[in-house]
Amino acid sequence: MSNLGKLIINADVNKGTINRNLYGHFAEHLGRCIYEGIWVGHDSPIPNTEGMRNDVIEALRVLRIPVLRWPGGCFADAYLWKDGVGPDEQRKKVVNVHWGGVVENNHFGTHEFLRLCELIDTEPYIAGNVGSGTVREMAEWVEYITFEGESPMTEWRKTNGREEPWSLKYFGIGNENWGCGGNMRPEYYSDLYRHYSSYVRNYGANKIFKIACGPNTADYNWTEVLMRESGSLMDGLSLHYYTTQTGEWNNKGPATGFDEQLWFQTFKQTIYMDELIERHDAIMSKYDPQKKVALMVDEWGTWYDVEPGTNPGFLYQQNTLRDALVAAVNLNIFHKHNDRVQMANIAQLVNVLQAVILTEGNRMLLTPTYHIFDMFKVHQGAERIDLVLESPRYEMNGESIEQISASASVDEGGTMHISLCNLHHADSAELRCELRGTKAGAVAGKILQASSLDAHNTFDEPEQVTPADFQDFRQEDGIWVIKLPAASVVVLSVQ
């Protein structure tokens, strides 16, 4: 069955820039994200650059990742950065208390992370330790990284092989301090935010963008208290929201082998992001009507049961066509809120949760989510343009959501990109699209679709889900008629 929808694109109505940082990522010392996924060590038989695997670096460079958050996550509020600098043999072996209780040998530390950022050409975003670290440790970390002059920290940095300071813009004052980062009440954390952030200094020309720990999902009181008590002292407030297919943490369900109902429920859960942003934004606007404080969705993505037989503390899950659509829908939602949301970081980069890359020994594969970030990167830094969408409803067991998600932007070179997503598991959609305010006419497209809802790439068959050229559009009396297959994502370029 094919359902009818209507899309009007007002190419001459500019809705502001889509911050590149909405395409950010997150890498934590968790499971096989850092170790194995990125860091294999200098002596590894896996081809590497200064200990970091070349295949992963190459694949990440293609995505033009704007910003990478590290070292956690919950790990951040247990992390003592001084354990992770200096000669390897002197680095402390500690226990990773949050994630599987495994040994953390600290071989990947500050220098390695900042080198990774150089290699993949991305901005670093460091999350500091409020939960179990001191104000002094946090202050010294920023000094170690960014100070040019003479001080014990800069001398130490030089001894460890780095003469020049790095530039560091994004710094988080803690992570999930309402939970794994100290189980704090917002009033208490708010005071700690004021305290710790005062010591996160700007050295020379380096200007830090300070990000406060924001709410968990719909904890609107947290946002209220933080904005009221310390909104004037922050540049950004984070928001964490994960998509579980059932909405229940103790019953997350499998990453593959799900039915149509779980497919539908996943999208119902994921589009809740729209409401969350809207409501947190409304509270922020009470204290900051000019939207100077950015909302940073610095953890988002799908969270399923771990793959059978893998360490439950490692959060390793497969990534299917469904994840690709989840990514596409969320990116469209972030675009829509580009006046408040200035960064988003999908969790996590490699081998953890909704990863863009999976590795096994010396093998690597690109997940369906990777392909969405690749197809959508044309929106990075582009000007969002107005659109009016009349979507058919997607119904399941008495509930319904919009079948189509859409977003449009114009890049520096004047090319318009329209990203469309058909969430229906079985029905295609015929979209009648009117382009107003432009003379553009030549259209080209890419599509991501697959033979089954849980289609995914494996190490033996890494190309089960990959983008293809899309040509199912035609012009009828000045209207573009676009046929979106069920469960697909399309990105059109219009010139």
- CB of residue 318 to ligand AHR, shortest distance in Å: 17
Measured from the CB atom, is 66 or 214 closer to ligand AHR?
214
- Torsion over CA: 30, 34, 36, 37 (sign): positive
Size of the site for ligand AHR (CB under 6 A): 10
Q: How far apart are CA 314 and CA 95, in angstroms?
A: 14
- Which member of 72, 109, 174, 236 binds ligand AHR (CB under 6 A)? 72
Among the residue ranges 72-80, 203-211, 276-284, 395-403, the one whose residues contact ligand AHR (CB under 6 A): 72-80
As beta bridge partners, residue 414 has none
- Which member of 73, 174, 186, 214 binds ligand AHR (CB under 6 A)? 73
* Site string (282-311) toward ligand AHR, x via CB under 6 A: -----------------x------------
Q: What residues have CB less than 8 Å from 109, skipping those under 6 apart?
A: 81, 83, 84, 85, 91
Annotated active-site residue 123? The verdict is: no
Among the residue ranges 6-14, 67-75, 84-92, 381-389, the one whose residues contact ligand AHR (CB under 6 A): 67-75
Taking CB under 6 A as the rule, does residue 454 contact ligand AHR?
A: no
Taking CB under 6 A as the rule, does residue 128 contact ligand AHR?
A: no
Measured from the CB atom, is 79 or 264 closer to ligand AHR?
79
Annotated active-site residue 299? The verdict is: yes
Ranges within 26-65 binding ligand AHR (CB under 6 A): 28
Measured from the CB atom, is 28 or 140 closer to ligand AHR?
28
Measured from the CB atom, is 26 or 144 closer to ligand AHR?
26
Among the residue ranges 68-76, 114-122, 252-260, 377-385, the one whose residues contact ligand AHR (CB under 6 A): 68-76
Measured from the CB atom, is 33 or 142 closer to ligand AHR?
33
Ranges within 157-186 binding ligand AHR (CB under 6 A): 175-176
- CB of residue 176 to ligand AHR, shortest distance in Å: 5
Please report, to the nearest 10 degrees, the dihedral formed by the alpha carbons of residues 57, 350, 262, 271 taken in order: -70
- CB of residue 269 to ligand AHR, shortest distance in Å: 16
Measured from the CB atom, is 181 or 381 closer to ligand AHR?
181
* Site string (332-351) toward ligand AHR, x via CB under 6 A: ---------------xx---
- State which residue has the least CB distance to ligand AHR: 73
**Token duo for residue 150:** 């003479």
Choosing from 36, 123, 143, 176, the catalytic residue is: 176
Tally of residues, the chain: 495
Measured from the CB atom, is 74 or 486 closer to ligand AHR?
74
Choosing from 28, 123, 299, 402, the catalytic residue is: 299
Q: What are phi and psi of 426, to 5 degrees?
A: -130, -30
- Where in the sequence numbering do the catalytic residues fall? 176, 299
- Residues binding ligand AHR (CB under 6 A): 28, 72-74, 175-176, 299, 347-348, 353
